[in-house]
Amino acid sequence: MKQEYQDVVLRACGASSLRVGARIQRLWSGYGEIVRLHLEGCDRPSVVVKHVKFPSRAKENTPEGRSHARKVRSYEVETHWYQNYSTAPGCRTPSCLAACSHGDEMLIVLEDMDVAGYEQRRTSVKDKEMRACLSWLAHFHALFLGVAPVGLWAVGTYWHLETRPDELEAMDDAQLRAAAGDIDRTLSRCRLQTLVHGDAKLANFCFSRSGQDVAAVDFQYVGGGCGMKDVVYFLGSCMEESECDKKVPGLLEHYFSELKVSVSQDVDFAALEEEWREMFAFAWTDFHRFLLGWMPGHWKINRYSKQLTKEVLHKLKL
């Protein structure tokens, strides 16, 4: 790490020295890495740093160029999010201690969630952990209900139709491809909008040791939208096809019960629940549309997804 970036960390934390620790993960498509830095001489034993280094810019109006531009924008959005938005205890996120950019590099210095008590990661979860994540989403959506996505993606999620023309073109399902615009418009015309995390998969949640409390990270695709987009994406990230029919109804009940106690009293909750429940199948189908063009052999393309898509296409015909 460049000395100037080390100096940013030292100043932000009031530390006398630092040591570069383990790499937590590489960023998607070789755009940098996330590392833990160990500190001396301050009250923080460590911080987590997201160090972005952009590769050579691809030609515009090509799939590679569009992908690059989308990733650059995502890191700009994430930096803006951490610097300008804050959450509440029910939807815990890491504090941003510093952020800077220079040329083709960006640096975000974040609170270490392991130190904060969220040291567990899960590759599979039981109902208790799934409910904890859905509670986080409910509190997040309630907190930002009606908030304009200033400085964020106008429409959140990384699979939003407008940002994925190449995947749409690659789809073999002509019927769903033709309906993609209508599905997107249906979701965007929801009367009650919020901010969505945009990449609320299991891997982006940090768990307490008990599994009852969670925090979320990775806000590259936070933006406006219907809360169901996060809910369906999360559920799809941690359940096999065989579990969906049995578990989804109860998990949705939990989400809406948490949402009800979290929203402001002046919100017409009955109208909110009715609208968002109607959007459940549309949001699931919207992500299914993306997968069919991006990776048609993906394990999430299953009978449950196909059945919901069939129902949505029938509703659109009516």
Tens-place pLDDT, residues 18-77: 999 999 999 998 999 999 999 999 999 999 999 999 987 767 789 999 999 999 999 999
Model confidence at 257, in pLDDT bands (50, 70, 90)?
A: very high
Q: What does the alpha-carbon distance between residue 195 and residue 197 come to, in Å, rounded to a whole number?
A: 7
How many CA atoms within 13 Å lie on the side-chain side of 197? Answer: 29
pLDDT at position 58 is 67
| 302 CB-near residues (< 8 Å, 6+ apart) | 241, 244
- pLDDT over 90 (residue 157): yes
> 218-233, pLDDT tens digit by residue?
999 999 999 999 999 9
In this prediction, residue 124 carries a pLDDT of 93
Distance, in Å, from the CA atom of 222 to the CA atom of 299, rounded to the nearest integer, reads 25
- Coil vs helix vs strand at 206: strand
pLDDT of residue 285: 98
Indicate the helix (H) or strand (E) that contains 107. strand 105-111
Q: What pLDDT sits at residue 61? A: 82
Mean pLDDT of the chain: 96
pLDDT at 221: 98
Amino acid at 7: D
Domains of the chain, CATH where assigned: 3-111 (3.30.200.20), 127-317 (3.90.1200.10)
pLDDT recorded at residue 56: 79
pLDDT confidence of residue 1: 81
Which SS3 state, helix, strand or coil, does residue 245 take?
helix
Statement: residue 122 has pLDDT above 90 = yes
Q: What is the mean pLDDT of residues 265-282?
A: 97
pTM of the model as a whole: 0.96
